[in-house]
A and B are shown apart, each in its own frame.
Chain A
Amino acid sequence: MAKPMHPTPLLDELEKGPWPSFVTGLKRLAKDKDLVVDLLGQLETSYETRLGYWKGGTVSVFGYGAGVIPRFTELKDENGNPKFPDAAEFHTLRVMPPAGMHYSTEILRKLCDIWERWGSGLIALHGQSGDIMFQGCTTENVQNAWEEINALGFDLGGAGAAVRTSMSCVGAARCEQSCYNEAEAHRAVINSVLSYIHRPSLPYKFKFKFSGCPNDCMNSVQRSDFAVIGIWRDNIQTDEELARRWVEKNGGKEGAIANVSDWVVNRCPTKAIQLKRANQVRQGDSISSVRLTDEWALEIDNRDCVRCMHCINVMTGALAPGKDRGAAILIGGKRTLKIGDLMGTLIIPFMKLDTDEDRQKLVEFAHKVIEFFEENALEHERIGEMIDRIGLPTFLEAMGIDPDPNMVIHPRTNPFVRTDGWDEEVARLKAKKEVKTA
């Protein structure tokens, strides 16, 4: 039994309403833990004063320089003593989850037992970077909790100027849109940069995220410095049986055609997909088509398709990504501070990720990017900001990647560039192209 609760009239309001309440959960923990009794006391104070009361510090586990987020209370009385002494230390352990965030009940129970033993019992599944966040631990107990978590096969995540914990979607494990094995790629890359995670030595944070298709369920384009997004090169696949079934479910022979027109054809961003009389569908290397009814069919000219996923999302199964699958790499996504929001920029339009050898190429490229970032970024500069500063052509040259019109929305609209190397550059690219086609 823990000490008596502090009154929490404001937090009590958050026990009302149908959505699961974190306050109810904290109160349950407070029955056994003085730490949580005092945490609720401090949180209630924040709700009264509208101010936060935590400061950072240095707490780590033996052998690692990152992964623990230290929190010490700043809520003190006139003598400088913590007002809620049992929550004076409330550190978090960031732990990397299994790729795709799969758990058995057995492993979850073990993790809960460890955290009940050494910590507050509060666990976030998951933090915004993807960590399992074991929240609320005294300095003294951090090492004990960590050793037991580590013994279960888990490792700490990143914090500070380090490579951070990554995320990958459910992907190949359960999703038909998956264009590569996200978990394998995720583990291949991240497990090759562990020293950058455990020993922060970069100019600033560096995040990888892995999404299996352009729906980008991991929000990698904006939330990671290095986004690996599944894509395919060949034609969209079709399945007539599933297409006809879709028609039955979505308005029948009459209504479904209008729905296909409104929901699919009109929303194609490049007008690559057309609704046609079944007997007028074209044949050709770049054409995919599927009958919807005896009369109507969809025809896609895949040369015009930008692989946005929309038609596939609407008619899942009837339409599917092609067979020649892999991933695109976009670099430089981040949120506001300091130059404004950045989406990742397309750097590699396509790479295969089928085999260990393919994945090794991804790993090598990731290392090349991090090393360049480490050497060239200014302090507290993300790689997107660095590329903004040095220009994409400079970055491409450093990476040994040739320019590709897929990398831009359109060519430059200003003349402020020195072009006296033009002829040599054209000759170089043409010669390269000839070697490739020869």
Chain B
Amino acid sequence: MSETQAAKTPKKPIPHGVPDPKQFMHPVLLRNIGNWKYHDRPRPGVLHHVAKSGDEVWTVRAGTQRQMDVWTIRKLCDIADQYGDSYMRFTIRSNVEMTVADPNKVEPLIKALEENGFPVGGTGNSMSMVAHTQGWLHCDIPGTDASGVVKSLMDALYDEFKNEELPNRLHLSTSCCEINCGGQADIAVIVQHTKPPKINHDLVANVCERPAVVARCPVAAIRPALVNGKPSLEVDEKKCVCCGACFPPCPPMQINDPVHTKLAVWVGGKNSNARGRPTFMKMVAAGLPNNPPRWPEVTEVVLKIVRAYKEDGRPWERVADWIDRIGWPRFFERTGLTFTKYLIDDYKHARQSLNASTHVRF
């Protein structure tokens, strides 16, 4: 640190809290808060909202890479200043939304976004951008990258973002460890470790709070032990489910492995209450190689599921609704995936997912 900087007294923080969005809101939105009547979609990627006052706005939604450099954000600002009304917002899936009050601005705005590489779409019964995590770029415990997997998936499913041709909306997520920061989704790609942690016994005593690590394990596979005369931890490898929960509190218990860290694909998560209650996703494929830079094996499995859903799903069925109707045997048949013993739950509350009936599909 230079002398001038060292001499500078840091300012006390001002606890502003969550900023009031009104100061950054499109004026037509601002004057119609809580007074919207309905909306429709003139074309994929465009929402048309009508207020009770008669005011109307058109919102153009476009995909971004989420991890944006300042030049990309400034490009979005340039587009919004030149073709929009100088306002934008972002969706939970990192899509940018530019709202305009004049319908004649819509087509030029779409053109400007697309010419600058921001695909317009992601509305209604299309596939939205993949909700994702940090991965090798910034996380301290990642089994894989996030942005690269997502880029590869979005390239492969580009048309499903731009068009509204699916039975209902399709949400994807990716997560770089089993903590699953990407969240529940219709289709999720999540790291699945396949080997117990490799322990560096020289470091455990100094780095890890051992009782806390023991308590972290969901299957009580970790116990304190003396290894080579040093206090450390040992793992009962027969019990270990390779979840990686011990790794964050104890980095010497290395769970990531260039070969044995694999990826799994899950389906049928839904947060909305529409139709059935919200549902958790279910694992349907595992053992996929962690294969940068484009993870082709993962994309292939996801594409199989999307294609089957697109062909078989009825209007308004989400992936979970579709599988509820066709059943798991047909899901595995239609997607070409293999149902194995590893997909039968044997953790807590497993019985809830077993079929205690003669409801059988042939």
Q: Closest CB of chain A to B116's CB: distance in Å?
A: 9
B13 in contact with A106 (CB, 8 Å): no
**In the complex, which residues of chain A have a beta carbon less than 8 angstroms from the beta carbon of B70?**
29, 112-113, 115-116, 121, 123
Q: Is A289 an interface residue (CB 8 A)?
A: no
Q: Is B203 an interface residue (CB 8 A)?
A: no
B72 in contact with A47 (CB, 8 Å): no
- In the complex, what distance in Å separates the CA atom of A146 from the CA atom of B16? 13
Interface positions, chain A 243-271, Cβ under 8 Å from B, are 259, 262-263, 267, 269
**In the complex, which residues of chain A have a beta carbon less than 8 angstroms from the beta carbon of B80?**
105
Q: Is A147 an interface residue (CB 8 A)?
A: yes
Q: Is A143 an interface residue (CB 8 A)?
A: yes
Q: Is B216 an interface residue (CB 8 A)?
A: yes
A337 in contact with B92 (CB, 8 Å): no
Q: Is B11 an interface residue (CB 8 A)?
A: yes
**In the complex, which residues of chain A have a beta carbon less than 8 angstroms from the beta carbon of B243?**
336-337
Interface positions, chain B 133-148, Cβ under 8 Å from A, are 133-145, 147-148
- In the complex, what distance in Å separates the CA atom of A199 from the CA atom of B81? 39
B13 in contact with A64 (CB, 8 Å): yes
A176 in contact with B348 (CB, 8 Å): no
- Chain B, residues 259-302, CB within 8 Å of chain A (1/0): the string is 10100000001011111111010000000001011100000000
A25 in contact with B67 (CB, 8 Å): yes
B136 in contact with A46 (CB, 8 Å): yes
Q: Is B229 an interface residue (CB 8 A)?
A: no
Q: How many residues of B contact A (CB 8 A)?
A: 123
Q: Is A431 an interface residue (CB 8 A)?
A: no
- In the complex, what distance in Å separates the CA atom of A110 from the CA atom of B312? 48
**In the complex, which residues of chain A have a beta carbon less than 8 angstroms from the beta carbon of B67?**
22, 25-26, 122, 124, 135
- Chain B, residues 115-145, CB within 8 Å of chain A (1/0): the string is 0011100000000000111111111111111
Chain B residue at minimal CB-CB distance from A191: B17
Q: Closest CB of chain A to B99's CB: distance in Å?
A: 7
Q: Is B101 an interface residue (CB 8 A)?
A: no
Q: Closest CB of chain B to A298's CB: distance in Å?
A: 16
Query: With A105-B77, A121-B69, A125-B94 in contact, do A99 and B21 touch (Cβ < 8 Å)?
Result: yes
Chain B residue at minimal CB-CB distance from A95: B19
Q: Is A5 an interface residue (CB 8 A)?
A: no
**In the complex, which residues of chain A have a beta carbon less than 8 angstroms from the beta carbon of B142?**
52
Which of A52, A123, A263, A314 contacts B139, CB < 8 Å? A52
**In the complex, which residues of chain B have a beta carbon less than 8 angstroms from the beta carbon of A339?**
218, 348
B137 in contact with A43 (CB, 8 Å): yes
Q: Please, could you name 5 A-B residue pairs with CB atoms under 8 Å apart, sorted by A?
A: A16-B155, A54-B138, A124-B94, A190-B17, A262-B314
Q: Is B14 an interface residue (CB 8 A)?
A: yes
Q: Is A77 an interface residue (CB 8 A)?
A: no
Q: Closest CB of chain B to A95's CB: distance in Å?
A: 10
Q: Is A162 an interface residue (CB 8 A)?
A: no
- Chain A, residues 58-102, CB within 8 Å of chain B (1/0): the string is 000111100001010000000000000000001010001111111
Q: Closest CB of chain B to A64's CB: distance in Å?
A: 6
Q: Is A383 an interface residue (CB 8 A)?
A: no
- In the complex, what distance in Å separates the CA atom of A11 from the CA atom of B145? 11
**In the complex, which residues of chain A have a beta carbon less than 8 angstroms from the beta carbon of B118?**
20
Which of A25, A46, A167, A269 contacts B65, CB < 8 Å? A25
- Chain A, residues 300-329, CB within 8 Å of chain B (1/0): the string is 000000111110011011101000000000
- In the complex, what distance in Å separates the CA atom of A340 from the CA atom of B5? 48
Q: Closest CB of chain A to B288's CB: distance in Å?
A: 13
Question: Which DSSP category, helix, strand, loop or mixed, fits chain B's interface?
Answer: loop
**In the complex, which residues of chain B have a beta carbon less than 8 angstroms from the beta carbon of A343?**
277-278, 280
Q: Closest CB of chain A to B27's CB: distance in Å?
A: 11
A269 in contact with B276 (CB, 8 Å): yes
Q: Closest CB of chain A to B334's CB: distance in Å?
A: 21
Q: Is A128 an interface residue (CB 8 A)?
A: yes
Which of B23, B91, B178, B292 contacts A10, CB < 8 Å? B292
Query: With A126-B90, A222-B184 in contact, do A309 and B81 touch (Cβ < 8 Å)?
Result: no
Q: Closest CB of chain A to B227's CB: distance in Å?
A: 23
Which of A18, A239, A313 contacts B274, CB < 8 Å? A313
B36 in contact with A178 (CB, 8 Å): yes
B184 in contact with A13 (CB, 8 Å): no
Which of A25, A128, A174, A194 contacts B59, CB < 8 Å? A174
Q: Is B44 an interface residue (CB 8 A)?
A: no
Query: With A29-B71, A150-B14, A215-B274 in contact, do A173 and B314 touch (Cβ < 8 Å)?
Result: no
Q: Is B40 an interface residue (CB 8 A)?
A: yes
Q: Closest CB of chain B to A272's CB: distance in Å?
A: 12
Which of B10, B50, B134 contacts A143, CB < 8 Å? B10
- In the complex, what distance in Å separates the CA atom of A77 from the CA atom of B196? 27
Q: Closest CB of chain A to B280's CB: distance in Å?
A: 5
Chain A residue at minimal CB-CB distance from B218: A338
B315 in contact with A178 (CB, 8 Å): no
Q: Is A216 an interface residue (CB 8 A)?
A: yes
**In the complex, which residues of chain A have a beta carbon less than 8 angstroms from the beta carbon of B17?**
96, 155, 187, 190-191, 194
Q: Closest CB of chain B to A293's CB: distance in Å?
A: 19
Known: A124-B94, A155-B13, A317-B39. 12 other contacts (CB 8 A): A19-B65, A22-B151, A69-B138, A90-B138, A121-B69, A172-B33, A173-B33, A221-B273, A263-B316, A336-B180, A338-B218, A380-B216
- Chain B, residues 56-90, CB within 8 Å of chain A (1/0): the string is 01010001111111111110110011000011111
Query: With A18-B158, A43-B136, A50-B261 in contact, do A96 and B18 touch (Cβ < 8 Å)?
Result: yes
B63 in contact with A20 (CB, 8 Å): yes
Query: With A47-B145, A222-B184, A223-B183 in contact, do A52 and B256 touch (Cβ < 8 Å)?
Result: yes
Q: Is A108 an interface residue (CB 8 A)?
A: yes
Which are the 9 A-B pairs with shortest beta-carbon distances? A317-B38, A17-B155, A191-B17, A62-B10, A25-B69, A46-B136, A214-B273, A19-B154, A105-B77
Chain B residue at minimal CB-CB distance from A109: B77
Q: Is B54 an interface residue (CB 8 A)?
A: no
**In the complex, which residues of chain A have a beta carbon less than 8 angstroms from the beta carbon of B33?**
172-173, 181
B315 in contact with A263 (CB, 8 Å): yes
Q: Closest CB of chain A to B3's CB: distance in Å?
A: 13
**In the complex, which residues of chain B have a beta carbon less than 8 angstroms from the beta carbon of A178?**
34, 36
Name the residue in B77, B218, B276 with the highest tally of chain A Cβ atoms < 10 Å from its Cβ.
Answer: B77
Which of A17, A29, A102, A153 contacts B89, CB < 8 Å? A102
**In the complex, which residues of chain A have a beta carbon less than 8 angstroms from the beta carbon of B217?**
338
A102 in contact with B87 (CB, 8 Å): yes
Q: Closest CB of chain B to A225's CB: distance in Å?
A: 14
Name the residue in B68, B70, B181, B258 with the highest tally of chain A Cβ atoms < 10 Å from its Cβ.
Answer: B70
**In the complex, which residues of chain A have a beta carbon less than 8 angstroms from the beta carbon of B138?**
54, 69, 71, 90, 92, 135
Query: With A128-B181, A181-B34 in contact, do A26 and B89 touch (Cβ < 8 Å)?
Result: no
Q: Is B24 an interface residue (CB 8 A)?
A: yes
A22 in contact with B292 (CB, 8 Å): no
B10 in contact with A147 (CB, 8 Å): yes
A214 in contact with B272 (CB, 8 Å): yes
B18 in contact with A98 (CB, 8 Å): yes
**In the complex, which residues of chain A have a beta carbon less than 8 angstroms from the beta carbon of B40?**
316-317
Q: Is A403 an interface residue (CB 8 A)?
A: no
- In the complex, what distance in Å separates the CA atom of A147 from the CA atom of B40? 43
